Structure 1
């Protein structure tokens, strides 16, 4: 009884005996901890800085004091390899083998991306630096080179004829390549059969076809055999040969992404195969098809070899692609960059800058128009559906 009196007294006072342990929290109700993949915490920044500094010092000693080595490229390569080796060593001192390997691979991928961005920025900056002097004058976009001599000032002459020629040749090539490419993609993905595999093999082989082979094909078949003169139309045929496999491959991939349930629903409602393809498959894959078309156009607009062999060269304006020679921006660049006069070289780099802007516009257009997945509704379509649902009784 004496042993129960302190407990009874505590119970009367309302305190009671203290629990032996506190209840554990439920793991299901615990707050979610966000894990950041690729984070540079836990000494990652220090390891990177230490490995970079140590490898730079060791590379300097090797090139300047110990070995008969020289050259900026070799210095950078040696520095990078030593940096990776030191990063692995420092990582093994700080983390386990799996974490150190993961950080090393992350560093390799990140530096490769930075290298690609640096190379692109260097090319764009160099072209901008060399061509800004000519592109800053309005006459470059409003005049031709017909009345401009080699030593004429930069305020004379321009690339209007090349811009018009490139746009016309690209428009004709798109007009020819897009229907053929999409039709071939529909045949390979929707119809199939014994000929699907040979057609796919030919398309894949044409994707890696050198551009000069396309120019030689049009030169030998269309110009020399059929007697067609060199013109913008012949150049557009050569560009069609280059663009069609790009459009076909990209369109086939996009069409295959269309859910099969949509086709089954169309067949269940009594639709035929061609009606299903025309009314269901192609509208669903429209954003991806637009991306395929724009990517093909971006490939064709910068080709030089096919145009060089098929279009001819002229310094004046020729807005008719079906007769006489017609110059384009790649051919304009190739012709005038060889001149010894600095102003001629500046005009060539200004044309290269214009061509880069055209390609950039095409890729941005492809990104905007093809950002949605097949089957996703655009904002305009969602607004229209909401209006119809609101207006319905």
Structure 2
């Protein structure tokens, strides 16, 4: 005689319409948190929207072809432009990029690929400290060291580029370090397994894999450096004429011309300052958008 055991049917889950006690209060808390966070976001966006609106309203009527091709006239006279500032900014930023980005990436490579040790810990600490140093301190340091110090180089393009490069260097280093750490170790091990040396693995495997992230960090550093004013006041000093000398003559820059134009009592000079502010804002936004786009393309390509 055989006996069979029957298992009771599994209990069916309760329908969603039958909510357990307390679910209404949880929905209330969720909606309240959503409202509070949305209000906080709106409040945070108000100053940014007002800045964009005011800069665009005051500067859009000044920016034209003459603004980029003509030098600044006397403060009372209308028209003219900031050609000297744009040339000087391009000159200074080109030198600053050559100084900061290769050294910043090389420093990050040493920290990630040859650390950790006491030296890498010290480098990371001082990099973090440099990130928070006010820019006027950097300008004062370069002024005391190169302009009137043992360098005795005077004002000029090169010392201004050194000050901007010092501001950009920690940003490049920290961003490059994080990007290099995201490269999987499997790629390194595969390169070593094929017989490549460490430097060959870094150059041909690690850096190409991290290239989009390195480009993004470099773009953000350039966007930070292009709008700096305080370091240039003590190093490049400023000029209303187009200067091609690398050193020995004061060099102009858009942020300095903006700063001095905004302090004038004449309406024409103030209007040109608003135009320069709009140009700087557009440049920073463009660099930021390009950096975000490169970063998004890299994240999509890695999936």
Q: TM-score, normalised by structure 2?
A: 0.88
Ranked by relative contact order (alpha carbons within 8 Å, sequence separation 6 or more), the top structure is 2
Paired residue total? 285
How far apart, in 2, do the equivalents of 1:205 and 1:169 lie? 24
Q: What is the CA-CA distance between 1:365 and the residue it aligns to?
A: 1.5
1:352 pairs with 259, 268, 277, which one?
277
How far apart, in 2, do the equivalents of 1:106 and 1:164 lie? 48
How far apart, in 1, do the equivalents of 2:100 and 2:300 lie? 25
Larger Rg: 1
Q: Within the alignment, does 1:328 sit opposite 2:256 as a pair?
A: no
Instruction: State how 1:118-133 maps to structure 2 within 5 Å.
Output: 118-133=46-61
Query: What residue in structure 2 maps to residue 107 of structure 1?
Result: 35
Q: TM-score, normalised by structure 1?
A: 0.69
Query: What residue in structure 1 maps to residue 76 of structure 2?
Result: 151
Query: What residue in structure 2 maps to residue 258 of structure 1?
Result: 183
Query: What residue in structure 2 maps to residue 362 of structure 1?
Result: 287
Q: What is the CA-CA distance between 1:267 and the residue it aligns to?
A: 1.1
How far apart, in 2, do the equivalents of 1:171 and 1:343 lie? 30
Q: Within the alignment, does 1:212 sit opposite 2:136 as a pair?
A: yes
How far apart, in 2, do the equivalents of 1:374 and 1:247 lie? 19
How far apart, in 1, do the equivalents of 2:299 and 2:69 lie? 42
- After superposition, the C-alpha distances for 1:330-373 in whole angstroms (9 at most, x for unaligned) are 10111010111111101001001011111111112112222234
- After superposition, the C-alpha distances for 1:191-241 in whole angstroms (9 at most, x for unaligned) are 012211111001011111110111011001111111101011111100011
Does structure 2 conserve the Cα–Cα contact (< 8 Å) formed by 1:333 and 1:349?
Answer: yes
1:203 pairs with 115, 127, 131, which one?
127
Q: Within the alignment, does 1:179 sit opposite 2:107 as a pair?
A: no
How far apart, in 1, do the equivalents of 2:265 and 2:217 lie? 40
1:138 pairs with 52, 55, 65, which one?
65
SS in 2 for 1:99: helix
Stretches of structure 2 lacking an aligned partner (at least 5 in a row): 1-8, 17-21
- After superposition, the C-alpha distances for 1:58-87 in whole angstroms (9 at most, x for unaligned) are xxxxxxxxxxxxxxxxxxxxxxxxxxxxxx
Instruction: State how 1:377-392 maps to structure 2 within 5 Å.
Output: none
Does structure 2 conserve the Cα–Cα contact (< 8 Å) formed by 1:302 and 1:330?
Answer: yes
- After superposition, the C-alpha distances for 1:309-344 in whole angstroms (9 at most, x for unaligned) are 100121111133333011111101110101111111
Query: What residue in structure 2 maps to residue 314 of structure 1?
Result: 239
Q: Within the alignment, does 1:168 sit opposite 2:95 as a pair?
A: no
How far apart, in 2, do the equivalents of 1:278 and 1:307 lie? 35
How far apart, in 2, do the equivalents of 1:105 and 1:185 lie? 40
Q: What is the CA-CA distance between 1:97 and the residue it aligns to?
A: 3.2
Query: What residue in structure 1 maps to residue 264 of structure 2?
Result: 339
How far apart, in 1, do the equivalents of 2:299 and 2:60 lie? 41
Q: What is the CA-CA distance between 1:132 and the residue it aligns to?
A: 2.2
Report the RMSD for the aligned CA atoms in angstroms: 2.2
Stretches of structure 1 lacking an aligned partner (at least 5 in a row): 1-22, 28-32, 34-93, 379-393
Q: Within the alignment, does 1:294 sit opposite 2:222 as a pair?
A: no
How far apart, in 2, do the equivalents of 1:95 and 1:316 lie? 71
Q: What is the CA-CA distance between 1:283 and the residue it aligns to?
A: 0.2
How far apart, in 2, do the equivalents of 1:174 and 1:321 lie? 15
Query: What residue in structure 1 maps to residue 19 of structure 2?
Result: none
Does structure 1 conserve the Cα–Cα contact (< 8 Å) formed by 2:100 and 2:172?
Answer: yes
SS in 1 for 2:221: helix
Instruction: State how 1:67-86 maps to structure 2 within 5 Å.
Output: none
How far apart, in 2, do the equivalents of 1:139 and 1:116 lie? 36
Q: What is the CA-CA distance between 1:374 and the residue it aligns to?
A: 6.6
Instruction: State how 1:227-242 maps to structure 2 within 5 Å.
Output: 227-242=152-167
How far apart, in 2, do the equivalents of 1:341 and 1:133 lie? 17
Q: What is the CA-CA distance between 1:101 and the residue it aligns to?
A: 2.2
Q: What is the CA-CA distance between 1:274 and the residue it aligns to?
A: 1.2
